[in-house]
Amino acid sequence: MNKKKNAVISCFFAILLSLIFFGGPLSAAEEGSCITSRCHADMGKDKYVHGPVAAGECAVCHGESKKHKDSPRRNKFGAIKDKDIAGVCFKCHEQFETRKFTHEPVETGECVACHDPHGSPYKFQLLSKGGEICFECHDNEIVAGEFVHGPAAVGGCVACHEPHTANYKNNLKAKGPALCFMCHTDQAEAFQKGKVKHKPVTEDCTECHNPHSAAKQFMLAKKAPELCFGCHKEMEKWVSAASVKHGALSTEKSCLNCHNAHVSDIDKMLALPPMDLCLGCHDRVQKRADGTFITNMKKLLEEKKNHHGPIRQKDCSGCHNTHGSDNFRMLREAYPPTFYIPFDVGQYALCFSCHEKSLVLDPETTKLTNFRNGSMNLHFKHVNKPEKGRTCRSCHKTHASNHPKHIRESVPFGTWELPVNYEKTKTGGSCTPGCHKLKKYDRVKKAVNK
């Protein structure tokens, strides 16, 4: 009795199992197809289904099916060997254009490392979307910087990189600035129009910008001045060695206070004509680190109409080294800061970088200077003294004045503003300074001073 019962149960399970394993009867449409209600049922249901899969043509890739030995109604495919996959793909797809560079997984035929051969939720049957597919193999550190480039941030890697083969290194779509100009058309236009172009910008934008991400704004690895010093080593040496430093280099945008980074219409890539640059900051009283104040140069030049030659030429750099200097007031050459000084022509190197130095070397002259009494050179007489030589500043203003020949109205002498009282005549002049009583000079008829 029990035996019979067991046999019935066994039989029942045998039928159940065979139904599970071999399926019930198939519909006419399913007969012979690989996609049935029970086999590969999900195949073809993705958002993006590969062409041949949609057409149910499994065999083009998997080879002709054999019937399952133990299940004559099921098809059995051969597996595709890894090394054969690319070959299978190129049966239908055009072989990639041969170019100089091939992405390694393409070289090794790993098409299915990125593409699902059957279908996927993503365009081109990619295994994941955007940059995620790339980060399967590449370190996502490249987009970990605080400032991430627009297209890299949204996984637009293939906006710049070819996934398969490319003509340019790093599988790039274009080389140097052309890559960036594909999108930054405004930059391209400005760059083409500009007269003075920064050399690295003509070569490769990535000399300064990281194409993916970086620690500083605009995907820069460093800010000015460090960014600039990366290449301008000489300038770095100069700036750090200078004993008189310029606040313009250490405030706000540093080098970029005066220079453009890419291109400009003005020499040396200046952001504005040089004098406008200087007066852009020196339009107010500036304070030195030691607390002393610096003249409002813009106001001075507006008030004093008679401008010194180089200032008329808008050339502040004729006398000042804007990047710092070892001379007082950042002057390019030596110039005495005091009222008196024992004579040494080297002390006046600044003035004599443009003016003739015989002005103070020859005791007698009939042409070197108008500051003479008869042929007695009064420049020689005042300046060229072994002890209390008068420096140029005791009579002249450097930037501008309202007097002819930049003669000063007064000279700071200690705490006293020593008046000069200069009068000019056709053939000479006179002064009644705090130093001595009225003295005249005349080039034609030598004046006699008591």
Site for ligand HEC in 303-362 (CB under 6 A): 308-311, 316-320, 322-323, 329-331, 335, 348, 350-351, 353-355, 359-360
Residues 15-74 that bind ligand HEC (CB under 6 A): 34-35, 40, 43, 50-53, 56-58, 60-62
Q: Which residue in this structure is represented by tokens 């939720």?
A: 121
Q: How many CB atoms lie within 10 A of CB 307?
A: 15
Is residue 263 at the binding interface for ligand HEC, with CB under 6 A as the rule?
Answer: no
Is residue 238 at the binding interface for ligand HEC, with CB under 6 A as the rule?
Answer: no
In contact, 436 and 390? CB cutoff 8 Å: no
Number of residues that bind ligand HEC (CB under 6 A): 168
* Token digits of residue 50: 């590969």
Residues 126-145 that bind ligand HEC (CB under 6 A): 126, 131, 133-134, 136-138, 142-143
Quote the CA–CA distance of 59 and 166 in Å, as a whole number. Answer: 32
Is residue 395 at the binding interface for ligand HEC, with CB under 6 A as the rule?
Answer: yes
**Which residue, 106 or 447, has its beta carbon nearer to ligand HEC?**
106
Q: How many CB atoms lie within 10 A of CB 256?
A: 15
Among 3, 169, 436, 437, binds ligand HEC (CB under 6 A): 169
Is residue 434 at the binding interface for ligand HEC, with CB under 6 A as the rule?
Answer: no
- Residue in 97, 128, 101, 130 with CA at minimum distance from that of residue 113: 128
In contact, 32 and 75? CB cutoff 8 Å: yes
**Which residue, 126 or 215, has its beta carbon nearer to ligand HEC?**
126
Quote the CA–CA distance of 62 and 322 in Å, as a whole number. Answer: 74
**Which residue, 16 or 47, has its beta carbon nearer to ligand HEC?**
47
**Which residue, 22 or 230, has its beta carbon nearer to ligand HEC?**
230
Work out how close the CB of 175 gets to ligand HEC at its nearest, in angstroms, rounded to a whole number: 9
Quote the CA–CA distance of 212 and 17 in Å, as a whole number. Answer: 57
List, in order, residues 6 or more apart from 167 with CB less than 8 Å away: 99, 100, 101
Task: Determine phi and psi for 86, rounding to 5 degrees.
Answer: -55, -40
- Of 2-10, 16-24, 63-71, 277-285, the window that binds ligand HEC (rule: CB under 6 A) is 277-285
- Residue in 182, 198, 219 with CA at minimum distance from that of residue 172: 182
Residues 145-164 that bind ligand HEC (CB under 6 A): 149-152, 155-161, 163-164
Work out how close the CB of 10 gets to ligand HEC at its nearest, in angstroms, rounded to a whole number: 32
- Of 5-13, 19-27, 66-74, 280-288, the window that binds ligand HEC (rule: CB under 6 A) is 280-288
Quote the CA–CA distance of 159 and 149 in Å, as a whole number. Answer: 12
Quote the CA–CA distance of 351 and 297 in Å, as a whole number. Answer: 20
Among 214, 297, 411, 447, binds ligand HEC (CB under 6 A): 297
Work out how close the CB of 15 gets to ligand HEC at its nearest, in angstroms, rounded to a whole number: 27
Task: Determine phi and psi for 21, rounding to 5 degrees.
Answer: -75, -40
Among 30, 46, 207, 409, binds ligand HEC (CB under 6 A): 207
**Which residue, 22 or 165, has its beta carbon nearer to ligand HEC?**
165
**Which residue, 183 or 215, has its beta carbon nearer to ligand HEC?**
183
Work out how close the CB of 301 gets to ligand HEC at its nearest, in angstroms, rounded to a whole number: 6
List, in order, residues 6 or more apart from 38 with CB less than 8 Å away: 23
**Which residue, 2 or 185, has its beta carbon nearer to ligand HEC?**
185
**Which residue, 18 or 309, has its beta carbon nearer to ligand HEC?**
309
Q: Is 299 exposed, middle or buried (0-12, 13-18, 19+ CB in 10 A)?
A: middle
Is residue 105 at the binding interface for ligand HEC, with CB under 6 A as the rule?
Answer: yes
